[in-house]
Amino acid sequence: MAAGTPTTTLAKERTAEVDPTIEPARETPDRGTPRGTRESILPAVAAALIIGKRISTRAGAKGDTVPNPHPLVRDFLLALPPESRERWRGRCPEVELVSEHLFEAEAARSKRAARRPFTVQEARRSLKGAKLTLRRIREDGDPQHDTYQPPCRSCAPMLDHFGVTPTESG
């Protein structure tokens, strides 16, 4: 994928790194609108996972980004009944944040504990007291911008399964 596409631009925004290979937005002759602006990825949702004093943030995956959920999260989402499956399941920021945390928790186990598979109980223990808030990302002037977005019908049961509390405020 070429640098500066919406997917790579979103990824760079999420990691707060500046990529010198991305050219600044330019006026396009046919429409007169800047290329590479955030409007190309909207509407979107961003989330924050709060565990103790640690806050992690993510925006939902867009485009051809391939989700990489933690195996416990992936297995839970695959087992959802059809009426609880969103067509975009696995691309939500909740999935990315919980998965990232579980990958870190699993990697931080002792050598002895690492010999056993990482369990749902260990995952829940590592997420004890966790809260998650979701916010809509919309165009400038849109009254829905920065308003609370409840978890989708796939993520709500996933968050409950792992003991993460959705909240309107962080």
pLDDT tens-digit readout, 47-68: 999 999 999 999 887 777 778 9
User: Would you give the DSSP letter of residue 45?
Assistant: E
The 10s digit of each residue's pLDDT in 140-165 is 899 999 999 999 999 999 999 999 99
CA distance 110 to 102: 15
pLDDT at residue 42 above 50? yes
CA distance 149 to 46: 9
Q: 10 Å Cβ neighbour count for 125?
A: 11
Residue 89 pLDDT: 80
The 10s digit of each residue's pLDDT in 64-102 is 777 899 999 999 999 999 999 888 888 899 999 999 999
Residue 169 pLDDT: 81
Residue 170 pLDDT: 62
pLDDT at residue 8 above 80? no
Looking at per-residue pLDDT, the higher value among 25 and 140 belongs to 140
Give the CA angle between residues 61, 128, 167 to the nearest 5°: 55
Strand locations in 33-166, DSSP E?
Answer: 44-51, 54-59, 131-137, 165-166
Q: Is the pTM of this model over 0.85?
A: no
Q: Which of 99, 123, 111, 117 has the alpha carbon at shortest distance from 47? A: 99
Residue 137 pLDDT: 92
Q: Which of 162, 122, 96 has the alpha carbon at shortest distance from 114? A: 122
CA distance 78 to 86: 11
Helical segments of 32-70, H only: none
What is the mean predicted confidence (pLDDT) over 32-52? 72
pLDDT at residue 32 above 50? no
Q: How confident is the model at residue 3 (pLDDT cuts 50, 70, 90)?
A: very low
Residue 90 pLDDT: 84
